[in-house]
Structure 1
Amino acid sequence: MTRIFLAGDSSVAGRQAGKAPMAGWGQTLQLFVRGAEVINCARAGASSRSFLERGRLAWILENAAAGDLLLVSFGLIDKQPLDGRFTEPFEAYQGFLRQYVNAARDRGVHPVLVTSHERRVFDKYGNMRRPLGQYPAAVREVAAQLAVPLIDLNEWSVARWRQAGPDGTKALFLHLEPGEHPNYPEGVADNTHLRAHASLECSRFIAAEMQARGLLAPTHFRDLAAAFDPDRAVAYLPDEVFDRRTRERVAPVRRRPTRAGRTPPR
């Protein structure tokens, strides 16, 4: 069976029961795919740099086989000034994306680049801002240079969030009133992470783009126009299972030698 491995940050990552109704788009992609298994290795707080350096890409490459797909989507954390995770969009960020692409191709795995969905940021006049800045453009450039399939979730999300507006997007993102959900008794106003039904919208778009580009046979896609009740359709792992998978899906990183034949320092 073909497998679809996902490498990315919190916008992609599946969530444990204790975080519901938050959900990344990788958590709902399987609802639109059949005859192929989605293996979501994305992790909250990961950048293109930290995901690779902590052995998560290495785990994917150890377990992937020729003919599998690798969807790569980073950017939300790459732009944050966090120790060991920040990357400049047209420098280190692109360099890491190229490493994902080349490493996948070396294994006979088919890479696909996916731009990150935009955050929910509007100015006082109701105009939508684009805080991801140059990162989506950097992904598009790498995709063009390396002839990698590109799924532009960022552009799609900008149009969708603009359509919903400042008030309507509160129902798409993790905005909850106090007492509305037991996982967030004091309420929450999160402009980065999606609720389950918005995750479904994103994964539906991604599956449709995969079908349109022939990344899998048409028979691998299902229910692209179906309506889902997110409370019934979206599954959340028990917290302990989620934590175990987070610990297990790491492998030693094989560092490439320098031109002088020496392994570079960590």
Structure 2
Amino acid sequence: MTIDRRSLLRASLGGATAGVLGVTTAAAAAPRSGRRPTIFVAGDSTAATYALADLPRAGWGQALPAFLHHEITVVDAALSGASSKSFADLGRLDRILDAIRPGDTLLISFGHNDEKVEDPARGTDPWTTFQDYLRRYLDGARAAHAHPILVTPVERRRFTADGVPYLSHGDYPDAMRALASETGTPLIDLTALSFALWGKLGPEATKDYFLWLDAGAAPNYPDGVADNTHFQAHGAIEVARLVVAAGRSIPGRDHRALHDPCIPDDTLTWPATRPAES
């Protein structure tokens, strides 16, 4: 099934919470011969697809199609506020595993909300429960003869008063790296890649990547916003570039796009509602 880049996210994810994977499930009922692999994204708000009411906020999963050939389908099931635990406990992992097919790819990226250890619904310990939950994703994908890839959490915009970047995710990236090594799972070290990019850009330039907007700059944020975790379109695109460039086993990588430094913001599509929450 070929889907053009601009309509991809509308087609792949539209539907209610129970139908987040509706299009992919329908596709699964179609003949599989000649079908190109589908890329599923399990993650949190940094990877999620956002709606017109959120524009220009965007997640890196929403921007993945910018760096993939048109015939590749992306199902961005990332959910705002999700941890590896809550995503699985809410049944979101089961929905992916019901839809995923042999040869598909599952990108797994958590950590931001696992760190909220004061919240029993989301918090995990990096070296025990975090790894235990991540194994569910790995085991489930492999049981379906799909290909899991672990993606360490994208780094936040964090600088000292002297403009020096610092890490914010504690042991969670190391725990994911160790699990990848132990289980022979491909790893995209997005923590390290994004940290290097933010450090290169510095405190001021990174504001053009994160959701930093002056009052009156965007209709959806009339009072302005200073968000050091989530991205505007440009940032989502550049983080997606990091993911696809490092993910050598991701199918359908568009090398021309990866080497194009000027991917426009309007390459992205914002659906009418947030697909994972509507």
> Under a length normalisation based on structure 1, what TM-score does the superposition of the two structures give?
0.86
Residue among 22, 25, 38 paired with 2:57 = 22
- Alignment-mate amino acid for residue 103 of structure 2: G
Is the CA contact (8 Å cut-off) linking 2:194 and 2:242 kept in structure 1?
A: no
Q: Which of 131, 143, 154 is equivalent to 1:106? A: 143
For the residues of structure 1 that align with 2:239 and 2:257, how far apart are their CA atoms?
Answer: 14
1:85 aligns with 2:119: no
The CA deviation string for residues 169-221 of structure 1, in whole angstroms up to 9 with x for no partner, is 111111111111110011111010011111111111211222xx344366x65
- Tell me which residue corresponds to 1:246: 277
- Equivalence for 1:2: 37
What residue in structure 1 maps to residue 189 of structure 2? 152
Alignment gaps of 5+ in structure 1: 248-266
State how far apart, in whole Å, the 1-side matches of 2:232 and 2:175 are.
27
In structure 2, give the amino acid aligned to 1:45. G
Say how many residue pairs are matched. Answer: 240
Match of 2:222? 185
In the alignment, the residues of structure 2 paired with residue 50 and residue 214 of structure 1 have an alpha-carbon distance, to the nearest angstrom, of: 27
**Equivalences for 1:197-212 in 2 at 5 Å?**
197-210=234-247
- Structure-1 separation of matches of 2:199 and 2:234: 17
Give the CA deviation at 1:83: 3.6
Question: Do 2:72 and 2:252's aligned partners in 1 also have CA atoms closer than 8 Å?
Answer: no
- Deviation of 1:75 after TM superposition, in Å, equals 0.6
Q: Is the CA contact 1:6–1:39 (under 8 Å) kept in the aligned structure 2?
A: yes
Amino acid at match of 1:87: T
- The aligned amino acid for 1:238 is A
Residue 165 of structure 2 is matched in structure 1 by: 128
How far does the alpha carbon of each residue in 1:111-149 deviate from its partner, in whole angstroms, 9 at most, with x for none? 000011111111212121211111111110010000000
**Cα gap change, 1:29/1:215 in structure 2, threshold over 3 Å: closer, same or farther?**
closer
Is this contact kept in 1: 2:41–2:76, CA < 8 A? yes
Please tell me the residue identity of whatever aligns with 2:104. D
Question: Within 2, Cα distance between the matches of 1:195 and 1:154?
Answer: 18
| Deviation, structure 1 residue 82 | 2.4
Q: 1: CA distance between counterparts of 2:163 and 2:44?
A: 28
1:162 maps to amino acid: G
Structure 1 residue 164: Cα displacement: 1.2
| Identity in percent | 40
| TM-score, L = length of structure 2 | 0.83
Pair 125,51 (structure 1): closer, same or farther in 2 beyond 3 Å? same
Name the Cα RMSD after superposition. Answer: 1.5
Aligned to 2:268: 234
Partner of 2:26: none
Distance 2:240 2:252 in 1: 17
Of 57-66 and 166-175, more deviation after overlay is shown by 166-175
Given that 1:207 and 1:221 are in contact with CA atoms closer than 8 Å, whether structure 2 keeps it comes out as no
Instruction: Could you tell me which runs of 5 or more consecutive residues in structure 2 were left unpaired when the two chains were aligned.
Output: 1-35
Per-residue CA deviation, residues 43-80 of structure 1 (Å, 9 max, x unaligned), is 00000000000010100011111110000000111102
Post-superposition shift, 1:2?
A: 1.0
The separation in 1 between residues aligned to 2:159 and 2:76, in whole angstroms, is: 31
Q: What letter corresponds to residue 115 of structure 1 in structure 2?
A: T
Partner of 2:108: 72
Bigger shift: 161-170 or 69-78? 161-170
Could you tell me whether the CA contact under 8 Å between 1:23 and 1:194 is conserved in 2? yes
Q: CA deviation at 1:168?
A: 1.4
Cα distance change on mapping 1:108 and 1:88 into 2, 3 Å? same
CA distance in 2: counterparts of 1:123 and 1:2, whole angstroms: 43
Q: Give yes or no for contact 1:33–1:222 (8 Å, CA) kept in 2.
A: no
Indicate conservation of the 8 Å contact 2:68/2:252, yes or no.
Answer: no
